[in-house]
């Protein structure tokens, strides 16, 4: 498959950016990186396949650049598009709001007709609450990454997740 994939992310302290670059490096020809802080979200319309990376900040809130471009995001039509999400958070420090922003993003995309793919099992994570869970609460709505407490697990998680994303896009 050589259909381009748009990877959109924003990052306050660099963690999500680093992960986005790590993901893009797996398929450098196919994945096009877009920093929302610089480019906004309008280019999302160009892609059938999208990956989006979002960290949660300030007790369950959106990261600031995602927040700034949220109205523009809500105005987009995602019908016919497949989207894989990855969220960054801190289970130990912010376990009552773990990855909440990824849940908010999932809701907007679904309301706008997008198909969010590749739920990620909650097994092995320790948190009190999250708005990024599927209805049965057994999965996150996208890849869950914790660079604060589980940096050492991220690479393996990405390597497991990426083939699932490609398979879901092709399905
Ligand atoms: C002040 C502050 C508030 C945070 N709030 C949350 C939160 O509510 N939920 C969560 O899962 N992570 C929270 N985090 C953790 C960040 O999401 C995590 O550090 C992430 O890797 C930051 O990504 P970035 O460097 O791309 O901005 C918070 C971190 C800080 C410093």
pLDDT value of position 114:
98
Helix (H) or strand (E) holding 140: strand 139-140
pLDDT value of position 1:
53
Give the contacts of 155 (CB within 8 A, at least 6 positions apart): 22
Give average pLDDT by consecutive 10-residue segment, the chain, 171 residues: 91 98 97 98 98 98 98 98 98 98 98 98 98 97 98 98 97 90
Residue to probe by mutation, ligand 1, list 8, 53, 68, 90, most atoms within 8 Å of CB: 90
pLDDT value of position 2:
81
Distance 56 CA to ligand 1 centre (A): 5
Instruction: Kindly state the greatest CA–CA separation across the chain.
Output: 40
Residue to probe by mutation, ligand 1, list 14, 37, 89, most atoms within 8 Å of CB: 89
Closest CA to 6 of 68, 49, 64, 61: 49
Q: What are the residue boundaries of the structural domains of the chain, listed by start?
A: 5-170
- What kind of fold does domain 5-170 have according to CATH? Rossmann fold (3.40.50)
Find out whether the beta carbon of 148 lies less than 6 Å from any atom of ligand 1: yes
Tracing tokens 């773990």 back to the chain, one arrives at: 98
Count of beta carbons in the 10 Å neighbourhood of residue 40? 17
């Amino acid at each position: 498959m050589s259909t381009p994939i748009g990877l959109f992310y924003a990052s306050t302290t660099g963690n999500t950016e680093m992960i986005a670059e790590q993901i893009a490096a797996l398929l450098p020809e196919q994945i096009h990186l877009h920093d929302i802080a610089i480019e906004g979200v309008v280019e999302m319309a160009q892609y059938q396949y999208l990956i989006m990376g979002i960290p949660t900040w300030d007790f369950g809130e959106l990261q600031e650049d995602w927040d700034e471009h949220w109205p523009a995001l809500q105005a987009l039509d995602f019908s016919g598009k497949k989207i894989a999400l990855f969220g960054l958070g801190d289970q130990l420090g912010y376990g009552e709001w773990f990855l909440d922003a990824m849940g908010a993003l999932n809701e907007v995309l679904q309301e706008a007709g997008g198909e969010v793919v590749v739920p990620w099992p909650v097994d092995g994570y320790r948190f009190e609450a999250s708005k990024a869970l599927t209805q049965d609460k057994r999965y996150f709505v996208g890849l869950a990454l914790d660079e604060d407490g589980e940096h050492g697990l991220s690479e393996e998680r990405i390597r497991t997740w990426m083939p699932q994303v490609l398979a879901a896009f092709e399905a």
